[in-house]
Structures are given as C-alpha cells and as structure tokens.
Chains A and B, each alone.
Chain A
Amino acid sequence: MAGDGRREERFRALFDAHYDRVHAYATRRAGASLADDVAATTMGIAWRRLDAIDPRLELPWLLTTARNVVSTTVRGEVRRRARDAAGAPEPGPDLASGVVERDAIARALATLPDADRELLLLCTWDDVSPADAARVLGITPGTARVRLHRARRRFRDAYGHHPDSPGTARPEALAIGELA
C-alpha cells in the first residue's frame, strides 16, 4: 500500500539520519559489546511507534528510548554476570582507557546524581544540546540548564577532590549497569 511505502520511506530517513548517533550513545553507555543490540532494539521500537514520533524531535525520542533500552539491557547483563560468579568485573563503558585522569573522572562522575550525570554526559560526550537533553530526561529546558550548571560545578569540585577522602565514590561504581 502507498501508506506502507511512505511509512518505510520515513523510517529509512530516520534510520539513516540517527542510527550512528544511537549506536554511539549505546557504545558509550553500555559498552561496545551491547551497542549493536541496544541500537537495533531502539530502532525496532522506533519502527513500531513511528506514527507517535514527532518528526522535529526524532533524536531526543530515540535517545530517550535508547536510554531505557540501555537501562533494561544493562540490568539484565548485570544479573547474568552475577549468576556467572566466575566472571570478573569489567568496566562496562570503555571510559577513558589509557587516560591518566581516568580514576579522577570516574570518581567525579560517580559523585553526581544519576540524572545530573546523564545530563552532563549527554551534553559533553554526545554533543546533544541542552534543550534536546531536557527532552531526553523529561525535564524543562530551564531545569536542564540549572542542573547542567550544577553538575558541571559538582564535577569540577569532585575532580579536584583527593581520591582517598572519605565519602569519595570508588571508580568501580561506574561499572556496567551503574552509569546507565
């Protein structure tokens, strides 16, 4: 039918325009091993709910969905690894491997509340505008700006904080399942 053709045409355009960014997001949040699955699942949901996606807000919609998929997938992965008692803990997101500041960054990120950390990473790692990040997190742009400012300040403070101080989060907190 003509309607089906138009639907697939629109999905093809959406897929071509955003698949790589969704995949990159999934790689950073869930690790390379899960990125293909997360991106494919996200695109499958997008196809099924294509009529509900505002054409002007496709990327925020996809990232919101990918975030939820990552959360679900990572939780399942954590459970699976817990069952495999022999499995050694693996730093899920390939966070700054080989970079001297890795521990300091991981500790500083771990001190942020989940929503603030996600907002900071969306804007810093994924080049998402604060307005789109607000849509991803379901908050108003004004709130996003305030939280982003606060998150940056807290990150700076925590980054300069001595790593062995009491109350400082351990970098392992950023293992897979914690960051997403």
Chain B
Amino acid sequence: MSTDPLAALRAAAPEAVAATAAARASAYAAAVALPPLDTAAPSLRRWWTGVVAAVCAAVLAVAGTAVPAVGQASPGDVPAVGPVQVFTPLRTLSLTRPDGTVYTVEAPSTLEDS
C-alpha cells in the first residue's frame, strides 16, 4: 500500500471518460429545446402568498379598531367605570400655634370650598 494516503486517493480517481461528440451535441440540443424559466415574473405561488398576506393584514387591522370587540357588546351598552375620583386644587391654610405664631399649611380643598 502507498505510504501517502492522499496521493493514493488522487491516483485512484476514476478515469473520466470523455463525452462523445454525439452526446455533447445531444445535450446541447436538448437543453436549448427546453422553455427558459422566467425568473423575473412572479410565480403563481408568490401571487397567492401576497393575496393571503394582504387579506390577513386587512382582517387584523379591522379587528384591531373594533371597540368593543365584535359580538361582545351591543351599541347601547355603557362601558363599566370604576369609583369616581375628584381631584381638587390645594388651598393654603393659615394656622396659629398656642404661643401665637402663625404658620401655613397646604391642604386639599373640599367640594364645599368651591
């Protein structure tokens, strides 16, 4: 056996039988007889993909703007609300300590103040 495995592998390459002129000519003629594949034109599959994607996008857009969701409420329903919170402005109070000094504090105003 050879001491160089890769050289042995190289030497063992099967002889490539040259193609005959007839086979060559036949291969060429058979090839050019085929209809070229027009890769520029979008295929039917691509058209279908585009249509399905557009329909899905439209459905999602419409569904996203429907409030309340379709089928879950009638037009007369009043949306539920939580407890009412009234925010009032702060008012300044002037208070007097027992020693007679006056100081001010800020307190939320009440509904009665307004």
Contact = CB atoms under 8 A, between A and B. Distances in A.
B10 interface: yes
A96 B27 contact: no
B34 A104 contact: no
B28 A15 contact: yes
Nearest to A95: B14
A50 B34 CA distance: 12
A133 interface: no
B96 interface: no
B100 interface: no
Nearest to B16: A24
Given A28-B13, A36-B19, A49 B27 contact: no
B55 interface: no
Give the size category of A's interface with B. Answer: 35 or more
Nearest to A49: B37
A44 B39 CA distance: 15
Given A48-B34, A94-B15, A105 B9 contact: yes
A156 B7 CA distance: 10
Interface of A: 7-8, 11-12, 15, 19-20, 23-24, 27-28, 32, 35-36, 39-40, 43-44, 46-52, 93-97, 99-102, 104-105, 108-109, 120, 124-125, 152, 155-156, 159-160
Interface of B: 1-2, 5-6, 8-19, 23-24, 26-28, 30-32, 34-40
Q: List the 7 closest pairs (A to B, CB-CB), nearest first.
A: A96-B12, A24-B16, A159-B5, A40-B27, A47-B31, A94-B14, A125-B13
Given A36-B23, A152-B6, 13 more contacts: A15-B28, A20-B18, A27-B14, A27-B17, A39-B27, A43-B30, A44-B34, A49-B37, A96-B12, A104-B8, A105-B9, A108-B9, A156-B5
